[in-house]
Amino acid sequence: MIKLKHIEAIRNGDFTGLPISNTSTAVNMTGSWKFFRPTLKPKKSPCLEACPLHILIADYMQEFAAGNHLNALEILRENNPLPAVTGRVCPHFCQSACNRTDFDEAVLIGDIERALGDLGLTQPYSMESQECQEKAAIIGSGPAGLAAAVFLARSGVKVTIFEQSEAPGGLLRYGIPAYRLPRRILEKEIKNIVESYSIDLRCNHKIKSTDLDNLRKEYDAVIAAPGLTQSSIPETWPETPTVKGALELLAAISRDEPIPGQDFVIIGGGNAALDTARSLKRLGKTVQIIYRRTIDEMPAYPDEIIEAQSEGLLLREETVIEEIIDNGRDLSLNLHRSRKNGDRIEAGDFIETITTDFLIAATGQESSGDFLNCNPELLKAGDFAHGAASVAEALASGRKAAETTLRKFGRLPDDSITDQETQNLPPITFAALHLNYYSKKPALKIPQLDEQTRSDNFSEIHLGLSLEQLEIEAERCFHCGSCTTCGICWFFCPDVAIAINRESDNAESQILFDYDHCKGCGQCAEVCPRGVIEMEEDL
Amino acid sequence: MEKPAILLGSEAVAHGVKLCRPQVISAYPITPQTHIIETLSEMVDSGELKSQYIKVESEMSAIAAVLGSVSAGSRSFTASSSQGLAMMHEILHWYAGARLPLVLVNANRALGGPWNIWSDQSDSFSQRDTGWLQIYCETSQEALDTIIMAYKASEQLMLPIMVMIDGFILSHTMERLMIPTPKMVDDFLPPYKAPYQLDPENPLTFGAGAHPDLFYELKKAYSETMTEALTLIDQCQAEFAQKFNRHYDVIMHCQEGDKDSDTAVICCGAMTGTARVASEMLNENGTSVDLFKLRLLRPFPKTALITALKNKKRVIVLNRACSYGVGGTLSQEIRTALYDLPEHPIVNDVMISLGGKEVFPETIVKIVNDREQLSATEPNWL
Ligand SMILES: Cc1cc2nc3c(=O)[nH]c(=O)nc-3n(C[C@H](O)[C@H](O)[C@H](O)COP(=O)(O)OP(=O)(O)OC[C@H]3O[C@@H](n4cnc5c(N)ncnc54)[C@H](O)[C@@H]3O)c2cc1C
Ligand code: SF4
Ligand code: SF4
């Protein structure tokens, strides 16, 4: 019988003749061959860059999609103190910049923000540090004032807000109509802030120029956020009770005051014009908007214009009022076609004369607090500081004022956390993503009340979706520029030189490169779906 | 009890594979092999074969996928042909060098160019030096049986085995054959128990860098194992014959001539069937020849060949693969083996077919009848 030495050896578990070894290849430092090394380079997502509040959208989407709603809310609140509000009324700068637009459709960031905001209505806000000695006074409880209050109080500062109106919110309450921002939601969100941070909110307390000195004595810092809450009425218009400002009318509607008159003509093309017109229509009035340029040129948010038109609102574009005749009880208006003369717009051909009960100016906003301007030491925030803008910008400006104040108190490092973490990073473009791992999927459809149902009341038009439904939407997010520890780099690395530690809370240490064995082939950088890994020279 | 069936060669292969219960199958379609993996994928889909079927984008990936699955301790299967086998070439070397078992079925087909999909053994002959065992089959029954034996040998040797069927001639032709019962095969072929495998609990390094002396030692052991394989394969074939009552040998004497017949014809694969008819015709007409078929090309059964041919004055080798600039590849193998005889027979190297060129019994009869005119040193083209 021939002896089968080698076959016997295998049978007996002796592998000496085989290329199998129970020692590690780790001694072979293949890493010494490399000329390039991979590094984690997280990037700003375009949505974050576009959002005035620089919300860490890519990060909270990840938590949200995983069903960790409260974690997502926590990340969202780090930068945004009023998510139930902005989720409804912000024009969603983020969505217009979303990388997913180039793939199929933008992620519905606003709707997810809104759902998280609503979830947060019953979740107290978290504190960052213990109480301290400093006290701050804030003038105005609009979004700018509220944001300043939150970010100061979060660091332990004792905050007092002075609000001249009987209730807080500024234009959120007395400007934006309830069908876009239900009062119940606004009140709950503000109440939650006030209670979570023990803010001393003093309504019906108007600050006058004579109060300023005392305020400055009593408080370590004063922030002025009085907004632009008055309509500016063109000087050429007659001063008569049948001419009114849009903001004053909106405030009256918001307070449920009776609105006399039947026919209304509104001049302007911004949000104030549309909100006034749509509110009046809901009260059964006859309304038309007269705008001197084309509808496409209206500064109001495009979605608002589309909704207003679907509600049957009469929009007369390229029309100007050449003459206003005060008839005492009502007004006669001579309408002309508008004509461009260089940059100016002037009256062209006569169209017709119409009669109306009220003429409403929605042509601009001004401040009632000019006396605050005289004080150069006062920190300013919101519309009052930067001109009429948006809620998100007002919030951002309020936060900035708070950060400046904290820095003055020596309670914040030189640069704020959010600025450091996000502003200095390079942004990530659509082209830098590797999208083989994604399939096309349209955005969810958000239900709304139909025109019939909403025509005579102030019920919220947009109905929103449940958190569970929106998880599917959040899954569409690419998490541009943020490592999600998806593990694709780990899978492809031919040298087993990547380790993933999902337990670590520090993003930096979740992906570990073993540079002793990484050969620098660059496959990880090539396959990273989110463009987080970059190769740099290693000489 | 075995069941009779009428099947295409490719289906017979699939049934043979199924009986061996591979846990992983990965392959990429290519004519004339496609039916094999189509049949297997249907078996997996219907649940009659419990196996993981990995779809891949190329033959390179198919062989790499089973390299992975076998490293992890599973019995696996792949099949290919022609350009597909050529594409696997790099991994074929690595696979063998890694000392892992596998059965790969290759449906022999010409390599381009020019484009040709017909039967030709150049594809597998040109993989002779990759370290794989190679077995050539004459019939679909033989292919089915060989697959079962091949798994058994492969897993004891820890070496991969390539089983050849001729494209179209076997793959696309119906044959009546016997299908063994699962129990018979289970008794013959126990489940694969990997002596070593990828296991996070017990880490091992597979095919790590070997310094020159170690490399040399490992290859020497490899070569010695190939020699041992000759004995092991004999044992497998004997055990198979006992259990299944079908006899196979590394070299088979298919047609016996007279006692004093001094001419032998030798070939491999499906052409043997045609040669059987031709040698019957020759013997009936007074030209006595012996017909042999070579089943095992690697390791080369030199001793068995010498024993079979030692009394012959002339050996006519019918080739279906060519090493250009030398001649028929099979002829070279046979000539080299016969060199060890004190008195060599004449070896006539006949390039009988390439790219599916038809071989009729009359073609072979004429070659043998005109044997005196054949060159003994140069390849003989028709
Ligand atoms: C009709 C309308 C619709 C709009 N729609 C949208 C929208 O859909 N989305 C969006 O992003 N933006 C919208 N905006 C813009 C947005 O509402 C404002 O940019 C934002 O509210 C400005 O915030 P703020 O805190 O600076 O001021 P405000 O919201 O104006 O708040 C200022 C507060 O200060 C109080 N105050 C003023 N003076 C004093 C004083 N002397 N003492 C005490 N309190 C004082 C006021 O009563 C008021 O409550 C809209 C604006 C208008 C007019
Ligand atoms: S605040 Fe506005 S821009 Fe920022 S994330 Fe929310 S919806 Fe988008
Ligand atoms: S895909 Fe996600 S991270 Fe990227 S821009 Fe859109 S919302 Fe932001």
| CATH at residue B105 | 3.40.50.970
ipTM: 0.92
B272-286 burial string, b = 16+ CB within 10 Å, else e? bbbbbebbeebbeee
* Of the partner residues B97, B158, B210, the one whose CB lies closest to the CB of residue A10: B158
Minimal C-alpha gap between A275 and chain B (Å): 59
B179, two tokens: 């299908």
Q: Residue A536 pairs with which residues in a beta bridge?
A: A37
Distance (Å, whole) CA A209 – CA A203: 18
**A53 CA → ligand 2 middle, Å:** 7
Best of B57, B93, B94, B99 to mutate (most A CBs within 10 Å, chain A): B99
Q: Residue B7 half-sphere exposure, CB side, CA atoms within 13 Å?
A: 24
**Type and span of the H or E element at B5:** strand B3-8
Residue A334, token pair as written in the block? 């001579």
Which contiguous run of DSSP H or E holds residue A231? Answer: strand A230-231
Cβ atoms of residues A533 and A40 within 8 Å: yes
- The residue whose CB lies within 8 Å of the most ligand 2 atoms, and thus the one to mutate among A93, A96, A111, A116, is A93
Type and span of the H or E element at A397: helix A391-408
Q: What is the CA radius of gyration of chain B?
A: 21
Residue A423: its pLDDT value, please? 59
Strands A365-366 and A230-231: antiparallel
Q: How far is the CA of A113 from the centre of ligand 3 (A)?
A: 13
Domain ranges of chain A: 29-44+482-537, 47-229+368-422, 233-363
Interhelix angle A57-65/A467-474, nearest 10 degrees: 120
Domain that holds residue B11: 3-244
Cα–Cα dist A348/B233, whole Å = 104
Residue A327, classified by CB atoms within 10 Å of its CB into exposed (0-12), middle (13-18) or buried (19+), is exposed
Query: Do B11 and B141 reside in the same domain of the chain?
Result: yes
What pLDDT does A422 receive? 53
**Residue B176: pLDDT above 90?**
yes
CATH topology agreement for domains A47-229+368-422 and A233-363: yes
Q: How far is A23 from chain B (nearest CA, A)?
A: 7
CB spacing of B205 vs A22 below 8 angstroms: yes
Residues B264 and B236 in one domain: no
Q: How far is A19 from chain B (nearest CA, A)?
A: 5
- Same domain? B255 vs B235: no
In A, residues 27-66, which contact B (CB 8 Å cutoff)? 28
Residues 6 or more apart whose CB falls under 8 angstroms from that of B97 comprise A19, B131, B207, B222
Q: B216: nearest CA in chain A?
A: A17
Number of residues that make up chain A: 539
Q: What is the pLDDT of residue A343?
A: 85
The dihedral through the CA atoms of A46, A47, A52, A54 has a sign that is: negative
**Inter-axis angle of helices B140-157 and B212-244, nearest 10:** 130
Distance between B6 CA and the closest CA of chain A, angstroms: 38
Distance CA A108, CA A101 (A): 11
**Predicted pLDDT at A115:** 97
- Residue that the structure tokens 């509220």 belong to: A146
Residue A19: closest C-alpha in chain B = B207
Helices (H) and strands (E) in chain B, counts: 12, 18
- Pick the residue from chain B with its C-alpha nearest to A18: B218
Q: List b or e across B61-85, with b for residues whose CB sees 16 or more CB atoms inside 10 angstroms.
A: bbbbbbbbbbbebbbbbbbbbbbbb
B322 touches B122 (CB < 8 A) = yes
B319: left (phi over 0), alpha (psi -120 to 50) or beta: beta
Q: Which of B208, B210, B231 is facing A2, going by the closest CB pair? A: B231
Does A5 touch chain B if contact means CB atoms closer than 8 Å? yes
Question: Among B227, B244, B261, where does a domain finish?
Answer: B244
- Is the Cβ–Cβ distance between A296 and A274 less than 8 Å? no
Q: Is the CB of A57 under 6 A from ligand 3?
A: yes
Q: How many residues does chain B have?
A: 382
Distance CA B30, CA B59 (A): 9
Q: Separation of A202 CA from ligand 1 center, angstroms?
A: 17
Q: Say if residue B116 is in the same domain as residue B261.
A: no
> In this complex, do A19 and B158 lie within 8 Å of one another by their Cβ atoms?
no
Give distance in angstroms: CA of B338 to centre of ligand 3: 74
Q: Tell me the nearest-neighbour CA distance from B330 into chain A, angstroms.
A: 28
B215 and B321 co-located in one domain: no
Out of A64, A94, A303, mutate this one to test ligand 2's pocket (max ligand atoms within 8 Å of CB): namely A94
B208 touches chain A (CB under 8 A): yes
Q: What is the 3-state secondary structure (H, E, C) of A78-95?
A: HHCCCHHHHHHHCCCHHH
Ligand 2 contact via A81 beta carbon (within 6 Å): no
Q: Which of A375, A365, A366, A364 is nearest to A208 (CA)?
A: A375
Look at B158 and A25 and tell me if their CB atoms are within 8 Å. Answer: no
- B203–A25 CB contact, under 8 Å: no
**Contact (Cβ atoms closer than 8 angstroms) between residue A446 and residue A111:** yes
- The verdict on B238 touching A (C-beta cutoff 8 Å) is no
What is the model's pLDDT at position A427?
78
Atom 8 of ligand 3, nearest CA residue = A47
Q: Which of A58, A49, A45 is nearest to A476 (CA)?
A: A58
CATH class assigned to A233-363: alpha beta
Confirm if A203 and A242 have CB atoms less than 8 A apart.
Answer: no
Same domain, B221 and B239: yes
Ligand 2 atom index nearest CA of A392: 1
As a whole number, mean pLDDT of residues B194-217 equals 91
Whole-angstrom Cα distance, residue A89 to residue B224? 80
Would you say the CB of residue A54 lies under 6 angstroms from ligand 2?
A: no
Size of interface A-B (CB pairs under 8 A): 62
Predicted pLDDT of residue A145: 98
- The verdict on a CB contact (< 8 Å) between A7 and B228 is yes
The closest alpha carbon to A245, from A324, A388, A362, A384, belongs to: A362
SS3 B249: coil
* Ligand 3 mutation pick, A48, A61, A107, max ligand atoms within 8 A of CB: A107
For residue B114, whether the previous peptide bond is cis, meaning omega lies within 30 degrees of 0, is yes
Neighboring chain A residues of B217 at a CB cutoff of 8 Å: 17
- A506 to A197, A426, A511, A517, A529: CA distances (angstroms): 28, 20, 10, 23, 20
DSSP string for B122-140: HHHHTTGGGS-EEEE-SSH
Across the interface, which of B205, B221, B231 has its CB nearest the CB of A21? B205
**Residue type at B104 in one-letter notation:** L
Q: If you take atom 41 of ligand 1, which residue's CA is the nearest one? A: A207
Question: Which of A59, A82, A109, when mutated, tests ligand 2's pocket best, judged by the most ligand atoms within 8 Å of its CB?
Answer: A109
Distance CA A421, CA A424 (A): 7
Structure tokens at A6: 């080698």
pTM, rounded to two decimals = 0.74
What residues have CB less than 8 Å from B230, skipping those under 6 apart? B250, B296, B299, B301, B303, B304
Helix pair B302-309, B329-338: axis angle to 10 deg: 80
Distances, alpha carbon A195 to alpha carbons A144, A159, A164, A189, in Å = 18, 12, 20, 10
List the single residue in A with minimal CA-CA distance to B199. A22
B156 to chain A: closest CA residue: A7
Answer yes or no: CATH 3.50.50.60 is held by domain A47-229+368-422: yes
So what's the pLDDT on residue A416?
53
pLDDT at A1: 62
Neighboring chain B residues of A25 at a CB cutoff of 8 Å: 205, 208-209
Peptide bond before residue B355 is cis, with ω within 30 degrees of 0: no
How many domains does one find in chain B?
2
B194-233 burial, b for 16+ CB within 10 Å, e for fewer?
bbbbeeeeeebebbeeeeeeeeeebeebbeebbebbbebb
Query: Which atom of ligand 2 is the closest one to the Cα of A86?
Result: 1
Optimal mutation site among B198, B204, B227, interface A, most CBs of chain A within 10 A: B204
User: Which chain B residues are Cβ-neighbours of A21 within 8 angstroms?
Assistant: 204-205, 208
Residues B159 and B278 in one domain: no
The minimal CB distance from B209 to the residues A7, A10, A28 is found for A28
Instruction: State whether B109 and B197 are in the same domain.
Output: yes
| Other Cβ atoms closer than 10 A to A168 | 25
Three-class SS state of A431: helix
Q: Per residue of chain A (539 residues), what is the pLDDT tens digit?
A: 678 999 999 999 999 899 998 887 778 888 998 999 999 988 899 999 999 999 999 999 999 999 999 999 999 999 999 999 999 999 999 999 999 999 999 999 999 999 999 999 999 998 777 778 899 999 999 999 999 999 999 999 999 999 999 999 999 999 999 999 999 999 999 999 999 999 999 999 999 989 999 999 999 999 999 999 999 999 999 999 999 999 999 999 999 999 999 999 999 999 999 999 999 999 999 999 999 999 999 999 999 999 999 999 999 999 999 999 999 999 999 999 999 888 888 999 999 999 999 999 999 999 987 888 777 778 999 999 999 999 999 999 999 999 999 999 988 765 555 554 555 666 799 999 998 889 999 999 999 999 999 999 999 999 999 999 999 999 999 999 989 999 999 999 998 899 999 888 776 788 999 999 999 999 999 999 999 999 999 97
Q: Which residues pair with B8 in a beta bridge?
A: B174
- pLDDT reading at B83 higher than 90: yes
The reported pLDDT for the residue numbered A379 is 94
Nearest alpha carbon, ligand 1 atom 30 = A227
Give the separation between CA A138 and CA B184, rounded to whole angstroms.
90
Distance, in Å, from the CA atom of A127 to the CA atom of B306, rounded to the nearest integer, reads 92
Q: Any residues with CB less than 8 A from the CB of A270 and at least 6 apart, and which?
A: A298, A299, A300, A362
- Asked whether residue B64 falls in the same domain as residue B183, the answer is yes
Residue B296 has pLDDT above 80, yes or no: yes
- Does B24 contact A at CB distance below 8 Å? no
Contact at 8 Å (CB) between A190 and A287?
A: no
When CB atoms are compared, the residue of A10, A17, A19 closest to B210 is A19
Looking at B209, B224, B244, which one is the last position of a domain?
Answer: B244
According to DSSP, residue A270 is labeled S
A29-44+482-537 adopts what CATH topology?
A: Alpha-Beta Plaits (3.30.70)
How far is the centre of ligand 1, averaged over its atoms, from the C-alpha of A145 (Å)?
Answer: 10
What is the per-residue DSSP string for A141-199?
-SHHHHHHHHHHHHTT-EEEEE-SSSSS-THHHHTS-TTTS-HHHHHHHHHHHHHHTT-
Rg over alpha carbons for chain A, rounded to the nearest Å, is 30
Atom of ligand 1 nearest to the CA of A144: 25
Is there a single domain that holds both residue B15 and residue B137?
yes
Distance, in Å, from the CA atom of B343 to the CA atom of B347, rounded to the nearest integer, reads 12
B200 and B128 share one domain: yes
Where is the domain boundary, B217, B244, B271? B244
Structure tokens belonging to residue B210 = 């070997």
Q: Residues 328 to 357 of B: which have CB under 8 A from any A CB?
A: none
Which CATH number is B286's domain given? 3.40.50.920
Contact criterion met (CB below 8 Å) for A97 and A509: no
Instruction: For residues B293-298, give the mean pLDDT.
Output: 98
